[in-house]
């Protein structure tokens, strides 16, 4: 991809807001000011579009547009700060503490987790907040398998919480008590979790590292039933190498998107992206251009894919790919690159809002070499007029959040 530079941010906005071949359009209605500031990493780690058009953003920061708001903010639809949420004291801990997961229960309370040891001065790595950001001290998670360290979480449609770390996964009831009906078929002695996501039918995709005598020997994709038992009907291929598979997510049509640093799947060239049928078999008709090392990928509601991969250090490319028609697909035509944008730094999470716009969060401060607000941006997709409005997708977004893909 040819990278263009512009003399100033205004020139960049003019260029990108003209919908042209090969580029996204920056959403000029989104105004985050200076974006995120402070913190050890100054990063947005999880972004969640909400049903009312607002945006929940968690990570490692101390200010938003110069206003003190540690580690969690809620934004108005135009990117301005919703000052009614304030996580007093933020999160703290010994190793770059940050919020890594955030999602809403049906009653509007917020579940957060990450690599922190205290939140608002209270011990914990998994917590519930009231809608105004104050800690719900009456909510005490009953974790039996997860100890300290990094915790990720997903809120399920009924308000229960799926929580996991590298060696274990468990489920809590909405009130924080242990859900004893969930018994995950995961042995932390031999399998280390890298990513977890939820399918529309409630089954759970686990991507991880297989260990033999504490040595990583390969990558594996596994599926559990909603009660935690192993889904033996799911027979995906193995992924070569000890660091090949970063995660998997369900596509709108039921196929499964897998991504990582692999070059082949089942002996066929696949440059870090592949699609599997719902039973785990490789979709041999889905081909992608380029080389491997897709760090993360997310399905979009129209069946397209948005993916990030490392470019020339310290840049990362954000690419949207669309599937060719069936006839072209079976002739070997690969997925088309709709656009690609280069950002300076890391992209940690991407979410699609109800109007088809892409929210991008991470640790970045430049777009195509030009300074932009730190850690948060919103794009329009090239050549696709925004529907007004289309069916709300935020409920599905909470069921399959991008926070399920671990950094």
Summarize the confidence of residues 104-123 as an average pLDDT. 97
The yes-or-no verdict on residue 311 having pLDDT over 70 is no
pLDDT for res 28? 82
Q: Is residue 160 part of a domain?
A: yes
DSSP string, 85-111: ---TT-EE-SS---EEEEEE-TTS-EE
Q: Is residue 300 part of a domain?
A: yes
122 exposure class (CB count in 10 Å sphere: 0-12, 13-18, 19+): exposed
The yes-or-no verdict on residue 315 having pLDDT over 90 is no
Summarize the confidence of residues 150-167 as an average pLDDT. 95
Residue 74: DSSP 8-state: E
pLDDT for res 351? 97
H/E element holding 193?
Answer: strand 191-198
Q: Is residue 196 part of a domain?
A: no
pLDDT for res 149? 84
The yes-or-no verdict on residue 10 having pLDDT over 70 is no
The yes-or-no verdict on residue 40 having pLDDT over 60 is yes
Torsion of CA 220, 285, 198, 348, to 10 degrees: 80
- Spell out the residues 6+ positions from residue 194 whose beta carbon is closer than 8 angstroms to its own: 207, 208, 209, 245, 246, 247, 406
Query: What CA–CA distance (Å, rounded) separates 336 from 346?
Result: 24
The yes-or-no verdict on residue 244 having pLDDT over 90 is no
pLDDT for res 310? 79
Q: Is residue 95 part of a domain?
A: yes
- Is the bond leading into 314 cis (omega within 30 degrees of zero)? yes
pTM to 2 decimals?
Answer: 0.86
Torsion of CA 105, 107, 109, 110, to 10 degrees: 20
Secondary structure (3-state) at 224? strand
Residue 4: DSSP 8-state: P
Summarize the confidence of residues 15-22 as an average pLDDT. 37
Residue 22: DSSP 8-state: B
Residues above pLDDT 70, as percent of the chain: 83
The mean pLDDT of the chain is 85
CA angle 183, 176, 181 (to 5 degrees): 25
Q: Quote the tokens at residue 122.
A: 């209270």
Q: Quote the tokens at residue 83.
A: 């000052």
Q: Is residue 105 part of a domain?
A: yes
How many domains would you assign to the chain? 1
- Residue 314's Cβ-side half-sphere holds a number of Cα atoms within 13 Å equal to 8
pLDDT tens-digit profile of 321-336? 999 998 888 788 999 9
Task: Name the most confidently modeled range: 236-245, 329-338, 396-405.
Answer: 329-338
The yes-or-no verdict on residue 406 having pLDDT over 50 is no
Residue of 83, 80, 36, 81 whose CA lies nearest to 62: 36
The yes-or-no verdict on residue 36 having pLDDT over 50 is yes
Q: Is residue 228 part of a domain?
A: no
- Residue 94's Cβ-side half-sphere holds a number of Cα atoms within 13 Å equal to 2
Residue 334: DSSP 8-state: P
Residue appearing with tokens 């402070």: 38
Q: Is residue 265 part of a domain?
A: no
CA angle 83, 89, 91 (to 5 degrees): 105
Kind of pairing between the strands at 122-123 and 118-119: antiparallel
Q: Is residue 235 part of a domain?
A: no
pLDDT tens-digit profile of 337-388? 988 888 998 899 999 999 999 999 999 998 877 788 999 999 888 654 433 3
Asked if 342 and 367 count as a contact pair (C-beta separation under 8 A), the reply is yes
pLDDT for res 218? 66
Instruction: Find the domain containing 362 and state its range.
Output: 9-182+293-404
pLDDT tens-digit profile of 44-78? 999 999 999 999 999 999 999 999 999 999 999 99
């Amino acid at each position: 991809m040819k990278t263009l530079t512009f003399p100033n941010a205004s020139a960049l906005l003019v260029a990108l807001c003209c919908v042209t071949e090969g580029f996204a359009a920056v959403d000029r209605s989104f105004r985050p000011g200076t974006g995120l500031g402070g913190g050890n990493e100054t990063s947005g780690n999880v972004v969640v579009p909400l049903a009312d058009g607002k945006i929940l953003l968690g990570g490692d920061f101390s200010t938003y547009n110069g206003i003190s708001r540690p580690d969690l903010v809620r934004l108005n639809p135009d990117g301005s700060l919703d000052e009614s949420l304030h996580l007093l004291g933020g999160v703290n801990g010994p190793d770059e503490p940050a919020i890594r997961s955030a999602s809403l229960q049906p009653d509007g309370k917020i579940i957060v987790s990450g690599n922190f040891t205290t939140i608002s001065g209270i011990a914990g790595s998994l917590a519930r907040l009231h809608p105004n950001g104050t800690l719900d001290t009456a909510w005490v998670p009953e974790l039996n398998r997860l100890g300290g360290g990094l915790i990720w979480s997903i809120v399920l449609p009924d308000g229960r919480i799926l929580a996991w770390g590298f060696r274990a996964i468990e489920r809590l009831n909405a009130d924080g008590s242990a859900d004893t009906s969930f018994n995950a078929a995961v042995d932390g002695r031999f399998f280390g979790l890298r990513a977890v996501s939820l399918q529309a039918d409630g089954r759970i995709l686990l991507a991880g590292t297989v260990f033999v005598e504490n040595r990583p020997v390969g990558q594996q994709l596994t599926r559990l039933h909603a009660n935690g038992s192993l889904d033996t009907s799911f027979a995906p291929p193995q992924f070569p190498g000890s660091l090949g598979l970063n995660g998997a997510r369900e596509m709108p049509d039921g196929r499964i998107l897998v991504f990582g640093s692999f070059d082949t799947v089942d002996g066929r060239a696949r440059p870090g992206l592949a699609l599997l049928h719902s039973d785990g078999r490789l979709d041999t008709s889905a081909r992608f251009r380029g080389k491997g090392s897709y760090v993360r990928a997310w399905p979009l509601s129209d069946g397209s894919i948005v993916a990030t991969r490392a470019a020339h250090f310290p840049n990362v490319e954000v690419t949207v790919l669309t599937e060719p028609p069936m006839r072209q697909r079976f002739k070997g035509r690969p997925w088309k690159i709709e656009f690609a944008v280069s950002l300076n730094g890391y992209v940690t999470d991407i979410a699609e809002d109800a109007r088809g716009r892409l929210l991008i969060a991470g640790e970045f401060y430049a777009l195509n070499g030009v300074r932009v607000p730190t850690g948060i941006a919103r794009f329009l997709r090239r050549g696709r007029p925004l529907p007004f409005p289309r069916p709300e997708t935020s409920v599905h977004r909470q069921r399959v959040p991008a926070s399920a893909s671990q950094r």
